[in-house]
Amino acid sequence: MPAANSEMANSMLDIHQNHFELFDLPTSFLIDRALLDQSYRKLQSEVHPDRFAAGSSAERLRSMQWATHANEAYQTLKSPVSRARYLLQLNGIDTQEETNTAMPADFLMQQMEWREAIDEARSALDIDALEKLLLELNREAIAQESELHIAIDEQRDYPRAAGIVRKLRFLDKVRDEIQQAILALED
């Protein structure tokens, strides 16, 4: 690639941009997923290492760093939980997912009910029950994501948002467990 083109591609990027700035998106929980995908593809076409194959080793290295950064940023923003976690981090909030397991009593009760339902369905070899449970958990995750939007974008209630992230992390684990149980029963 000619040096002028590689300089132009590299000059368009600022190492200090946050993930939202990198993709020219507003810094908010609610994002336009199609615009994220489009911006990601455009950025990757500009910084992809193949474009710099004939460049200097420094250009190839910088291209690889930017491609890696773009991939990491994209993966973070496309996942609602990762996006929320990142937004909270930008606002100086640690979600304390590893150390703070406190949950509201009603959510703890719901967790126990879900766990019992998983165990019962697994014991009964009931894939339909597991799939229904998975749909219920997906609906709950959507409701929690809606609450995250309100807590982060509208109320700027970051401590509340951190609690919702912890709930979503749990929901993700339970959904994974259900999917694994379904796969095991299908085999």
Residues 66 and 25 in one domain: yes
Residues 73 and 119 in one domain: no
Q: Rounded distance, CA 38 to CA 57, Å?
A: 29
Q: Rounded distance, CA 175 to CA 111, Å?
A: 12
Residues 146 and 74 in one domain: no
CB 111 within 8 A of CB 170: yes
Q: Is residue 91 part of a domain?
A: no
Residues 109 and 181 in one domain: yes
Q: Is residue 149 part of a domain?
A: yes
- Amino acid of residue 41: R
Residues 62 and 17 in one domain: yes
Q: How many helices (H) and strands (E) does the chain have?
A: 8, 0
pLDDT of residue 48: 84
CATH of the domain at 121: 1.20.1280.20
This prediction has a pTM of 0.84
| Residue 136 domain boundaries | 105-186
Share of the chain above pLDDT 90, in %: 73
Q: Is residue 100 part of a domain?
A: no
Q: What are phi and psi of 111, to 5 degrees?
A: -60, -45
Residues 119 and 177 in one domain: yes
Residues 130 and 180 in one domain: yes
CB 121 within 8 A of CB 133: yes
Residues 64 and 110 in one domain: no
pLDDT in tens, 104-146: 899 999 999 999 999 999 999 999 999 999 999 999 999 999 9
Q: What is the dihedral of CA 158, 162, 164, 168, to 10 degrees?
A: 140
- Amino acid of residue 125: L
Reply yes or no on whether the pLDDT at 3 is more than 60.
Answer: no
Q: What are phi and psi of 132, to 5 degrees?
A: -65, -40
Quick one: how far is CA 53 from the chain centroid? 31
Structural domains of the chain, count: 2
Reply yes or no on whether the pLDDT at 2 is more than 60.
Answer: no
CATH of the domain at 62: 1.10.287.110
Residues 36 and 109 in one domain: no
Q: Is residue 177 part of a domain?
A: yes
Beta-carbon count within 10 A of 151 CB: 23
Two structure tokens written together for 106? 């009603």
Residues 110 and 73 in one domain: no
